[in-house]
Structure 1
Amino acid sequence: MSQMTAIHSTQNSQQKAGNTASEPKKFSTFAGVFTPSILTIFGVIMFMRAGFVVGHAGIMQALLILFVSKMITTTTGLSISAIATNTDVKGGGAYFLISRTLGPEFGGTIGLALFLAQTLSVPFYILGFTESLIMTFPALKPFYLYISLFIAVVLFIITNRGADWAIKVQYVIMGALGLSIVAFLAGGALKFDHALFDANMARFNESKFSFWQLFAIYFPAATGIMAGVNMSGDLKNPARSIPLGTLGAIGVAVAVYVAQILLLGGSVSREALIEKPYQSLMSLAPFHTGFLIVLGVFCATLSSAIGSMMGAPRILQSLGQDRLLKPANFFAEVSKSGEPKRALWLTLVISLIVIYFAGKGNEGGALNLVASMVTMLFLWTYGITNLAAFIESFSRNPSFRPRFKLFHWIPALIGAVSSFAAAFLVDAPAALAAVALVVGLFLYVRKFILVASFGDARRGFFYSRTRDNLLTLAQLPVHSKNWRPTIIVFSGNPQNRLTLTRYADWLGSGRGIVTIAGVLSGNLHEKIRERRAYMENLEEFIRKNHIRAFPDVLVTPDFDLGLNQFLQVTSIGPIKPNLVMFGWSSDPNRAPAFVQSLRTAKLLNMSIVLVRDGGLPDLQQKKRKIDVWWSGKRNGSLMVILAYLISLDSQWSGTSIRILRAVENEYMRKNAEEELKNLIESSRMNIAIQVILSGDPLEKLIRSHSSNANVIFLGFEVPEESDAVSFQNRISSLSDGLPTVLLVRSTGEADLTS
């Protein structure tokens, strides 16, 4: 495993009351970004496995493996640079960038995942240091556990002194690591043999390792670029330092790794590279300086352990400062110097526990599994970081104006896909386990997250997709096959019209769009507060009753005039309302205005559904039934389609639909049965048919056959204004005492056989 740190920063100058006695020191590009990044990239893989990969893969394939690895980290570096130069970056590093782009749910998930990965990284790097120490000095083997625990405490003391002191220690480590790299590169150049280089150019024919297996071994050597990013809150100028330091570290690492592959291939035999990669690297050191290689291994593991112990607490502290999750709030407090003391103590406790149980038996099996999980979590962080940058750019968000100009959404997309693919190529079982962990964390965060105080890019992304889809939809021809209900519901006081709004939701059935509209009579300037309160009431009603709808409120001097105007102008581009729903009015004084509204809807070519409230059905009832009284294909088609949409709702699962038709003689009965059977067969629906031979009035037939139905559909025609009162009396008499009745008038656009 390579070291992978994510040094998470603290909030810079805005500290809580009582914590402002001294301002935390700010770091330059070199100290704050380049140094932690390059120390994390140059890891134990460079010393212990680089030769092994060159021996098996050959020089050409080893360079290809390096290219693919660096492509992932370079695209991630470009994405990080773009996001970091587009916003005022505070403490939080990758967590801050992702949460402000993909939202608090993803941000909180990645924050917890990074904290877990960083915290578990500390004991693993410490144990790695101890193992390399024992390989060099075998006499220390009996003290394996005690050495590991001692190193953990020492690193805690260093980190507890503050980031400034830890950075100074890393300067010393970087100097020693630099001497080690110079030693094996210089030795490789001095011992370079062209014949050996040619022999090692191609892949080892007898290798048992595939290209992707070798990639999995080598890839951790390319990771570590998040180390500098996560120092964001401790930087003098994050917008400048993060791009320069991160991309600079990647560039230096590429140069060193290319030189190492070429020089190893030209100075060490294939057999030695495969059998003794670490010893081969030591043998290259000139003038008996092999001890520098040993020093390099020690420095690589210690620098990663320090970086992880600095990073893990800062992640948790930044989560706490955002106040997203109550358990993390306790760790928001920082010291006067800006250090996350509480989170640091938690990191130490977890590290000591893991070291005790893992180091006690000196067994590596369980550790290897968790180490793979750590790698996976970092890869998912890279992927989601690229995804965040892709969403910002591809959605053409007007606020996405990064000062870093070497960015395009295509590399970000490539980086996201490559990161996710690499996770599975490195270790498929561990990748699946990491997916399960990330999903579990996401569900936890989504359930318990508090209100976020910051915005993100998701709305912009969906806005852009919606806009493009609306423009495309406007160019497509309208066909009855694609008919969907776009419903306006005039609810009045929604608290008194639950049946109306609930049936609108069921008719939408997740396949249409429902708008619950309210109309206020009066002057807009005088009613603006009342309108706002009405809108909030509608929004609360929709949330409380889990109705899938959008609220809207119109203020108009005249109620009926405003209602008619609302029907005319409401639309979302090509998505115009095609169905309007009213609650039934039994007030004779309202009959003329009510019928006038129906006539306006008809004039605007809108289908109409009137809801005669007979109460909501008992959805716990085992056998539920919807009755549709057929009165012709135009209204009948829409009634059956709407009944079918209701039956698709999960609350109506298992409901049976029955079409009933009354005829006066046997001849008409046979024709009606044949007609309805052909219609239902063409409709591809499982619907029962009942043709009733009777001369009784429709009102009597409905009461005798449908009084036990859960809901009844009846067709109607919009009357003339002069017939408003008689129409109202007739429908009231017909539906009185029945379950809820939906009266339907169709424009004919909805075709049952389409």
Structure 2
Amino acid sequence: MVDEPTHATARVGRLRRQIAIGKEVTVTTQNAEATASRNQFGTFGGVFTPSILTILGVIMFLRAGFVVGQAGVLGAIFVLIVCKLITFFTSLSIAAVCTNMQVRGGGAYFMISRVLGPEFGGAIGIALYFAQALSVPFYILGFAEAVVVTFPGLQPYFMIITLTTAALLFVVSYVGTSWAIKAQYFIMTLLVLSIIAFLGGGLAMFSTERLAENIASGYTAIPGKAGDYNFWIILAIYFPAVTGILAGVNMSGDLRNPTQSIPNGTFAAIAVGFVIYLIQIVISGGAFERQAMIDQPFEILKDNALFGMGAVVVAGMFAAALSSALGSYLGAPRILQAVARDNILTVIRPFAKGSAQGDEPQRGLVFTGIITAIVLIGVGNDSGGGALNAVAALITMFFLYTYGMVNLAAFIEAVSENPSFRPRFRVFHWTTALLGALGCVGVAFLIDSAAALGAVVVLGLLLWYIKRRDLKATFGDARRGFIYAGARKNLLRLRNMEEDPKNWRPSILVFSGNPAVRESLVSFAVWLEAGRGIVVMCNVLINSFDELGHRRPVALERLEKFCREKNVLAFPSVVVTPDLYNGILTTIQAVSIGPIRPNLIMFGWASSLEGFQKLNNPMRAAQRMGKSLIFMFADKLPEPGGAKTIDVWWRGHKNGELMMILAHLLTRNWEWGRSKIRVLRLINDQSEFKQSNAELEELIDASRVEAEVVIFTADKPFRDVLHEQSGGSDVVFLGFEPPESENESAWHELYVHLLDGMPTTLLVSSMGGADLRA
């Protein structure tokens, strides 16, 4: 059953969709470079310390009092709870995902890519790297601004302060992560002392009367804008105080036991941060006047510190800014190294290499240092930082969307019900992941809708670019399980729904053989399906399974490769059978995707009588099973684009309605978008013209198919009429009925004579099911 070869090899790839430009890339897992001697940090040094230092940041010093003054004690507590719930839900998702896999370097990027795939993971990983890399100069700017505010005489040296600070932090990070961790211990000591100083000072001034005065909200007008502050604006201002949970996660490649340390350290940091912020809200509300908290939130902490330790509070704020910068210096290069090792983008491949001792991402650290220096020099002496406000908001968005993607990854793992999803962390449910994802997106738009939308656009462009590279991942992800679960549920639902002509769709089983020599057959099968149904390509190998079974995987791979290379949207199938008749019948009976079974069986034209005789019995058997038939005589594939003519020869409703629907579906492809459908009818006498024309016009109107009616009489053989009317068309639809065995020779001889010299012709035999008026 080999059709006559055509010269249309390059055309099947243009079936509705085009192959994305770009070479195929294989995404590998962390390579052998990652096996170098690693750091072995524990929970406290590797996760808790960087996380808590990022959580207890400059917001605690500069904005916490302002939030209490505006929202009141109760309102501020509610703001804290809402913000903490989002990060808590995200931490639950982190714990579930990281305890379900062997976590390597890359932190959030590694977890997202292993669940959502390399495209989403790559887009988030690259965005997260730049977010953390750009965070370094921003935290340094915050530190320098605090310095010049505290010591106004240093204002002329603003740029020198920023560049010197950046250089010192770079040296600490480059010397090694262990040195950076030790430096963070010193910074945390200053931070703890400053917290004790300002909380102790506030506690010494605490009174229940003042607490009662500040218990309710007292929103004031927004300077320079119409309207007052409200709950959501205050939440947006306060939310950065509770972020920072990824600071420890990003150290995953340097942990002794990341599966245990990441959840334990993250939850501990969240809990400690919540307690400290809650105590600060209550003490501030009972110690300070509302207006003072609104106008001078930092000054009241410094001026009322315990035992006059205002300098310690200032040092604590400096430490908060420096620790955040150092955390970003440590985290950003590790993300870049992980993305590079997965070969997401060739241009960043050099950053995959780590140092011999500790596998430190020193190349990524140098690149991050260069970015930091460029940003700081670009800002110059702008101590107000106004030029970077928009970029700062965009950075915050990337962090929030990263949290959202972590939640989405955990949600997909849970909902897809993959048997492989067996996290050791049991306190998790898909609802918390969904709430966390929605909360992240909501807060992003509350903080800055323009920046949130801009982040979506940037991430979308990154995702689109990575998808164009036709990545092939060697690691599994949960997307297949998620799609599988959805497909299973829908197929089970579809099974219980009655079929109706209004819902008829083409499910085509095409016996393609080797598609390399039958591309016209495959092309028309896909065109007739037009993205509305299913196409199954089958190659029947004739021999016993014992003799030929070993060739079946090779033949199946050939079909799959053909579909990939030509972008043919079809499902390949290969059957090994002792004889053609039983092979075709078995395939027709067995092929199904749940309740979706083939309703159209498509064969290529058999030019020899012997070839036709092999197909006639299977065709008649297929009809007995209620399957409609398409027997295709292929001349050549039409050139893409341009106006084309599709002729449907109408001889009645039995085959005519299916031919009209297939002709309409053919025009739904871009190659046939400018086609004209003609419905041709040959009548016996001119007196029948008016009635026949009215019937067809009414049918076309009711069917909502754009077509032109052509009715005529002729006193010559039908073959001459067919060639005269349709010889110049691009494709012709004719009805047919498979002959009985005793008439095979005469039938075949008749159609060979009829089709000789014709353009591509589709012979259609309908068994019903398609209603043109539905």
What's the TM-score, normalizing by structure 2? 0.93
1:527 and 2:548 matched? yes
Instruction: Report Cα offsets for 1:456-499 as digits up to 9, x if no partner.
Output: 11111101111111000001111010000111110122122111
Specify the alignment match of 2:609 in structure 1.
588
Tell me which of 392, 397, 407 is aligned to 2:428.
407
| Counterpart residue type for residue 515 of structure 2 | P
Tell me which of 380, 390, 398 is aligned to 1:377.
398
1:214-613 correspondence to structure 2 within 5 Å? 214-337=234-357, 338-362=359-383, 364-448=385-469, 450-613=471-634
The answer to whether the 8 A contact 2:99-2:423 is kept is yes
- Output the CA distance in 2 between the equivalents of 1:249 and 1:73: 11
Tell me which of 173, 190, 215 is aligned to 2:187.
173
Shift of 1:76: 0.5
- Output the CA distance in 2 between the equivalents of 1:172 and 1:449: 47
- In terms of mean alpha carbon deviation, does 484-493 or 531-540 score higher? 531-540
- In terms of mean alpha carbon deviation, does 519-528 or 651-660 score higher? 519-528
Shift of 1:276: 0.8
- Output the CA distance in 1 between the equivalents of 2:162 and 2:220: 39
Specify the alignment match of 2:669 in structure 1.
649
- Output the CA distance in 2 between the equivalents of 1:13 and 1:111: 14
RMSD: 1.6
- Output the CA distance in 2 between the equivalents of 1:95 and 1:13: 12
- Output the CA distance in 2 between the equivalents of 1:97 and 1:642: 46
The answer to whether the 8 A contact 2:29-2:341 is kept is no
Shift of 1:729: 1.5
- Output the CA distance in 1 between the equivalents of 2:276 and 2:675: 70
Shift of 1:262: 1.3
| Counterpart residue type for residue 126 of structure 2 | L
The answer to whether the 8 A contact 1:188-1:264 is kept is yes
Specify the alignment match of 2:156 in structure 1.
142
| Counterpart residue type for residue 500 of structure 1 | L
| Counterpart residue type for residue 410 of structure 1 | T
Q: Which runs of 5+ in 1 are unaligned?
A: 1-10
CA distance 1:238–1:717, shift in 2 (3 Å):
same
Shift of 1:205: 4.9
1:89 and 2:89 matched? no
Instruction: Report Cα offsets for 1:400-439 as digits up to 9, x if no partner.
Output: 0000000000010111111111111110111111111111
Specify the alignment match of 2:38 in structure 1.
24
Instruction: Report Cα offsets for 1:156-179 as digits up to 9, x if no partner.
Output: 110011111111110111111011
The answer to whether the 8 A contact 1:582-1:609 is kept is yes
Specify the alignment match of 1:664 in structure 2.
684
The answer to whether the 8 A contact 2:512-2:603 is kept is yes
1:713 and 2:733 matched? yes
The answer to whether the 8 A contact 2:506-2:532 is kept is yes
Specify the alignment match of 1:47 in structure 2.
61
| Counterpart residue type for residue 664 of structure 1 | N
Shift of 1:361: 4.2
The answer to whether the 8 A contact 2:220-2:229 is kept is no
Identity of aligned residues (%): 48
SS in 1 for 2:428: coil
Instruction: Report Cα offsets for 1:119-173 as digits up to 9, x if no partner.
Output: 1011111111111011111111111111111111110110011111111110111
| Counterpart residue type for residue 713 of structure 1 | F
Shift of 1:363: 5.4
- Output the CA distance in 2 between the equivalents of 1:238 and 1:300: 25
Instruction: Report Cα offsets for 1:41-77 as digits up to 9, x if no partner.
Output: 1110110011111111112221221111111101100
Instruction: Report Cα offsets for 1:17-36 as digits up to 9, x if no partner.
Output: 9x84xx22311111111111
| Counterpart residue type for residue 236 of structure 2 | A
Shift of 1:614: 1.4
Tell me which of 26, 30, 33 is aligned to 2:47.
33
Q: Which runs of 5+ in 2 are unaligned?
A: 1-27, 222-227
SS in 2 for 1:737: coil
| Counterpart residue type for residue 665 of structure 1 | D
The answer to whether the 8 A contact 1:491-1:583 is kept is yes
SS in 2 for 1:648: coil
**Greater length-normalized contact order (CA 8 Å, ≥ 6 residues apart):** 2
Shift of 1:366: 2.4
CA distance 1:449–1:248, shift in 2 (3 Å):
farther
SS in 2 for 1:487: strand
- In terms of mean alpha carbon deviation, does 73-82 or 363-372 score higher? 363-372
Shift of 1:444: 2.1
Shift of 1:535: 1.5
- In terms of mean alpha carbon deviation, does 157-166 or 724-733 score higher? 724-733
- Output the CA distance in 2 between the equivalents of 1:15 and 1:538: 35
The answer to whether the 8 A contact 2:145-2:384 is kept is no
Specify the alignment match of 1:119 in structure 2.
133
- Output the CA distance in 2 between the equivalents of 1:533 and 1:114: 42
The answer to whether the 8 A contact 2:512-2:539 is kept is yes
| Counterpart residue type for residue 666 of structure 2 | I
SS in 2 for 1:96: helix
- Output the CA distance in 2 between the equivalents of 1:328 and 1:455: 23
Tell me which of 151, 162, 166 is aligned to 1:152.
166
| Counterpart residue type for residue 260 of structure 2 | R
Instruction: Report Cα offsets for 1:503-559 as digits up to 9, x if no partner.
Output: 001011111100111010112233234222212221222222221111111111112
- Output the CA distance in 1 between the equivalents of 2:210 and 2:121: 50
Specify the alignment match of 1:5 in structure 2.
none
Shift of 1:232: 1.2
SS in 2 for 1:287: helix
The answer to whether the 8 A contact 1:323-1:450 is kept is no
- Output the CA distance in 2 between the equivalents of 1:12 and 1:252: 35
CA distance 1:573–1:451, shift in 2 (3 Å):
closer
State how many pairs are aligned: 740
CA distance 1:688–1:249, shift in 2 (3 Å):
same
SS in 2 for 1:242: helix
The answer to whether the 8 A contact 1:391-1:461 is kept is yes
- Output the CA distance in 2 between the equivalents of 1:81 and 1:38: 17
What's the TM-score, normalizing by structure 1? 0.96
- Output the CA distance in 1 between the equivalents of 2:710 and 2:535: 32
Specify the alignment match of 1:6 in structure 2.
none
The answer to whether the 8 A contact 2:507-2:599 is kept is yes
| Counterpart residue type for residue 737 of structure 2 | E
- Output the CA distance in 2 between the equivalents of 1:206 and 1:25: 51
Instruction: Report Cα offsets for 1:260-280 as digits up to 9, x if no partner.
Output: 111111111111011111112
The answer to whether the 8 A contact 2:94-2:263 is kept is yes
Shift of 1:360: 4.0
Shift of 1:450: 4.5
Instruction: Report Cα offsets for 1:318-366 as digits up to 9, x if no partner.
Output: 1122223211210111111211111111111111011101134445222
SS in 2 for 1:148: helix
